[in-house]
Structures are given as structure tokens and as C-alpha cells.
Amino acid sequence: MTTCSATGKEWYLDAARRFDKKEFLDPLAAHRDELKGLHVNTHIPQVIAAARYYELTGDHRYRDISEYFWDEVVSERSYCTGGTSNGESWNTDPGKLSTELSTNTTECCCAYNMMKLTRHLFGWTADPRLMDYYERALFNHRLGTINPEDGTMMYYLPLASGYWKTFGKPYDSLWCCTGTGSEEYAKLADAIYFHDNDSLYVNLFVASQLEWPEKGLRVRQETRFPEQQGTKLTLSANKPVQMAIRLRIPYWARGGSVKINGEVLPVFSSPSSYLNLNRVWRSGDTIELSLPMDLHIDPMPDDQTIQAVLYGPLVLAGRFEPVSKEMTYGDSEPKATNQRKVPAIATDANRPTAWVEPDPKQPLTFRAVGQSESFPIVPLYKVIHERYAVYWNTKKEAS
């Protein structure tokens, strides 16, 4: 017998199922992408509901719906930031994104709800790919969409080149993304750690402290990630405890190492996996994880010449001139007529990131070299009051 988790009454759950939108859920159950033309953020929550229905009932149809939807949106309908939607909708067939760059790409509510769905799915499988996506959405979409000066929030994160971030007016704007932004920033700790009966999953590299009373265990994570390319965990235990600590090795990891109590282990793990450290842990034990980052590209699935550049998990943006205060606040997206011309990038197809050169004096700062225009390149979340570009039109370097 299954019941509503809030009331314990079965008939509430039966009533909820009567509201299933069959024309949306049935194709997903059959593994068909019929998302074109749908309003994105009225449908992601329906899949979150399906995920919760599976958790309450064990009905695998709803699990199939949730997992297929997640896979399809992440692999075929999401941009380099992890965000999805253009003008609040999915306007194209799967994988057709190169024509979908505008001032109103990637509504913030959609990223929020995809992260929420991801947390449900991870609880079922502990699949590291889910946390690879979660990290991408967290650092590249959620961070940088709140103005650090006054807490105002964004509706869209524009990905068309030459525009800027628009924040709501402090007292005159209240968008749906204002509410989800407030909630998401209150949930930044939600997915750092997960656990089952005998394992602790370290998913995100964020300075934090965990208390696990049932195990008599406390974990302090110290890191300046992403400025620091790794993290350190220090354990405190009421008594020695046998358990596994599973460290996520991200998709972007190019090698790495781990130390326990200062000694390098002769093992590591492949990208998009967990490094399983199973032993008896005692107070004072330390784990140091090193994860070197490098530059890599993320091209559009339907046009390989339109590319974003990433450094480790971070989407990089060319940063141009500042915009006025009047442009910073106002409508939910910039006016399409006020675009800055952004240079095309000359690059070698065999060395697609060679035009991005790191600044040896500043962490996470780069510069365009060998181009018609030189400009700084920084993580997208660090751009607040300037015009920027994330996707670049590239052509083969002239011989």
C-alpha cells in the first residue's frame, strides 16, 4: 500500500495521479523526445513529480520517465552551462542548438529545477554523471546569476554573444526566478555529500562541515575550489569506524592523485567515477585530493565551429566593456538591438584552445592571443557588469 508522504492517506496519491499530463508523460515513458514546442519550466516540475511518485510507490514507469527525460534534456537540449530553454521553450528538434542563442536563453528557473530533479535521480543510483552535470549547472548557471552587491537576481542567462547580465530592480521586480533563485542559494549545501548505510559520497568540492551522528563522524572540507585544484578532508570520529569514503572524480579530470595522512596512494580512478577509499577511519585522518584542470572545448552538437571554452568545470567568457547601471537593472533580458560585435576566432582545429592563454599572475584569468582583438577571459560567474561572450564562431587558422 502506498500513501501520500505528507498525510499518510492513500487517496491523496490517487488523486495526484489523475493530474498526470498523459500527452507529455506517455512519450517519455516510450523513450520518445516530443519536447519541441513545450514551455520548459511548466514541464520539468512535472517530471520532478514523477520522480517523487516513483519514490512513494515503486512504480518503475515513473522512474523510466524521469531518467529518460533527464538524459534527453542534458545530452540534447542543454548548453555548455547546464542551462536549457530559449525564450522559455524548447523550440527545435533534439541536438539543434546552434540557432538557439539569444538574449533569453537558459531561464534560471529551468536550471534550478533540473538540479532539483538531479538530486532525486542521484538518490536512486549514485551515478557520478549526475553530479558532473550538477556541478556544471551550479558553477556556470546558478553562480553569477545573483548580483553580489545587492542580491538582485536574473530571469535569463543570455548566451548570445555581445550582451550582458540583466538583474531585477531591487524593489520593482519579482519574477518566478526571484523565488527559485532565493531557494536555490539556500540549498547550496544540499548535494555536497550523500550517504548510504556504509558509505559517504563527496560530490562537490566546497568548503563545508558535515556531521553524521549515527556514525559518530564529522568531516571538515577545506578548499578554495575552483581557485584551488583539489580539496582536503579532515575527519573526527568518536571511535574508529569502518566505512567507505567515495570521492567523485569529475568528467573533466585529467589525472590527479590522492593522499591519506600525507601518503600518496598508488591508485586513482577514471573520469566520471568514484574513487572508493574503504578502511577504518580515526580522528585526525586526512584525505587530500588533487584534480588538475586544463582547457577544453564544448562545441555545439549541430555545428562544431561554434564552441565554448571550459577550464576544468568552468565555462569561460570573454569579458568586454562595462555596461551602465541603467542597463544592469530593468527588463528580464537585454534588448536584442543593443548587441556588441564579437570577433570570430581564428584557431587550429588540432589545437582548439591554443588561442586562450593563462595569466600567470592571476588565478582563473586568461587572455585571447593571436586574434584581431585581445580581451580578458574569465569564468562566466565572475562576469557581473560587463558585456561577454561564451560561444565563439571559429575558423581554421590560415596557413
Average pLDDT for runs of 10 along the chain of length 399: 64 78 97 98 97 94 98 98 98 97 96 97 98 98 92 94 93 83 85 96 98 97 97 97 98 95 95 97 98 97 97 98 92 85 93 95 95 96 97 71
76 within domain boundaries? yes
148 within domain boundaries? yes
List the CATH number of the domain containing 270. 2.60.40.1180
**Nearest alpha carbon to residue 251 among 235, 269, 278:** 269
* The pLDDT value given to residue 3: 57
Quote the pTM value: 0.95
Which of 135, 163, 185 is a domain's end point? 185
151 and 273 in a single domain? The answer is no
For 8-15, the CB contacts below 8 A with 24+ separation are 13/53, 13/56, 13/57
Cβ pair 373, 346 in contact under 8 A: no
79 and 126 in a single domain? The answer is yes
390 and 273 in a single domain? The answer is no
Length of the chain: 399
271 and 209 in a single domain? The answer is yes
Q: How many domains does the chain have?
A: 3
103 and 206 in a single domain? The answer is no
60 and 157 in a single domain? The answer is yes
321 and 344 in a single domain? The answer is yes
Which residues form the domain of 375?
A: 295-396
283 within domain boundaries? yes
Cβ pair 101, 160 in contact under 8 A: yes
Percent helix / strand / coil, the chain, rounded to 5: 25, 30, 45
286 and 304 in a single domain? The answer is no
Q: What is the β-pairing status of strands 217-222 and 257-260?
A: unpaired
CA dist 381 and 85 (Å) reads: 19
1 within domain boundaries? no
CA dist 246 and 223 (Å) reads: 17
* The pLDDT value given to residue 396: 60
